[in-house]
Structure 1
Amino acid sequence: MSKGDATRQAVIDQAVEIAGRLGVAGLTIGTLASASGLSKSGLYAHFRSKEALQLAVLGSAREHFVDQVIRPALAAPRGEPRVRTLFERWLVTSSSGASGCLFVSAAAEFDDQPGPVRDLVVKDHWDLLDSLAQMYRSGAKDGAFRDDLAPEQFAHDLHGLMLAHFHACRLLHDPAAEAHTRYTFERLLQSLLR
């Protein structure tokens, strides 16, 4: 990695942390310059616009989520072990730090803001739902899950559960959030098993 690439990645990492606190919409070249000690012109050379910075932050957050949640789940055996690994990794990610899940906050920020940032957030959410449905399909194909349920319903239910968990942790600071989420996950999982 070149020095310029390393600098850019360090800046993106800091921008992800800032976006976790201020939101993706609140992230600007100016706020990043103040936090990083770099000049606005230096940051502009890396990103060219606030929108390009926001897209880079979301791309980095997506890579982190895939590395921390999706890949470990796909490495687990199909069926219940894969879904449990996914759930456990996602639970940790959604509960951690200020940048716990930029996709949830970005979805709320950009849901009615047309443009490339919203388009990327929508694409990433559809990709996640498709991945969840595919995990269910592979488990059903191997006989671990019921084959009379729609994979898309499983994806919707699990995604909804994780959104509720994020809300309970981040907004409500509910000390029982994890216990409630685990209970609901077990009920969901039991409904899928043959």
Structure 2
Amino acid sequence: MPGRPRDERARDTILRRAADIASQDGLEGLSIGRLATDLGMSKSGLFGYFGSKEELQLATIRTATGVYVNEVVQPALTVPPGLGRVRRLCENWLSYSQRRVFPGGCFFFAVTAEFDARPGRVRDAIAAAGLDWAAFVARAIDDARQLGELADDTDGDQLAFELIAFLEAANVTSLLHDDANAYERARTAIRKHLDTAVISP
């Protein structure tokens, strides 16, 4: 019924389950029927929350973004600007993937591969989330450079690209090869990489 108040807690439960599924089976793997079965709801009741598969996908991306921010970004903001925050961001990301906050590893790594060459609103939402993350890491690096903790010629965008590559490599290696050492290898690579840009006391 139009205008009927929604049960926001139920909606949050639906979307959190949807994000878990998408991290393993992709956003195309989502369906009203599957979610209804998983959550013991009727298809019509669940459909009323979203109205279309695309709206479900977009809402799932927003929910995953909130989880990502809470797990990776917000804890790093408790660290003062500088190199410590950069290191904390990297560690938070590795922990988020390693602990399987989403059962398929990083939600955004999974859905990016699915939609990177497919134009549309879903791709645009995924791309925006990725750009926001890269820009945030680059700003943290630039803060460290301006504070004199990194060399003056440090390119924040380039270094952010390289650090994110290490993070994503750990995620995919762990998942594809069931390699428990992937995260420690990434931590070692990140530490060495940042050390080359650090200004010695």
Deviation, structure 1 residue 99: 4.2
2:170 matches 1:142: no
- Superposition RMSD in Å: 1.3
Contact 1:129/1:156, CA 8 A, preserved across alignment: yes
User: What is the CA deviation profile of residues 64-117 of structure 1, one whole-angstrom value per residue up to 9, with x for unaligned ones?
Assistant: 111111111122022221012111111111123214311001000001111111
2:33 matches 1:41: no
User: What is the CA deviation profile of residues 12-52 of structure 1, one whole-angstrom value per residue up to 9, with x for unaligned ones?
Assistant: 11112222222222111111111111111111110111111
Letter in 1 for 2:152: D
Letter in 1 for 2:17: Q
Letter in 1 for 2:97: S
Aligned to 1:92: 95
2: CA distance, partners of 1:30 / 1:114: 25
Letter in 2 for 1:175: A
Q: Aligned ranges for residues 125-140 of structure 1 at < 5 Å?
A: 125-140=130-145
Deviation, structure 1 residue 56: 1.1
1: CA distance, partners of 2:38 / 2:172: 27
Letter in 1 for 2:78: A
Contact 1:29/1:50, CA 8 A, preserved across alignment: yes
Contact 1:79/1:135, CA 8 A, preserved across alignment: yes
Q: TM-score if structure 1 supplies the norm length?
A: 0.94
Letter in 1 for 2:112: A
Task: Identify unmatched segments of 5+ residues in structure 1.
Answer: none
Aligned to 1:118: 123
Q: How many pairs does the alignment contain?
A: 193
Q: TM-score if structure 2 supplies the norm length?
A: 0.91
Contact 1:29/1:43, CA 8 A, preserved across alignment: yes
Deviation, structure 1 residue 3: 6.4
Q: Aligned ranges for residues 41-120 of structure 1 at < 5 Å?
A: 41-97=44-100, 98-120=103-125
2: CA distance, partners of 1:69 / 1:41: 35
1: CA distance, partners of 2:129 / 2:153: 27
Comparing 128-137 and 173-182, the one that deviates more: 173-182
Aligned to 2:193: 188
Comparing 16-25 and 118-127, the one that deviates more: 16-25
Describe the SS at the equivalent of 1:75.
coil
Contact 1:25/1:106, CA 8 A, preserved across alignment: no
Counterpart of 1:175 (choices 173, 180, 187) is 180
- Percent identity reads 35
1: CA distance, partners of 2:174 / 2:41: 33
2: CA distance, partners of 1:188 / 1:101: 22
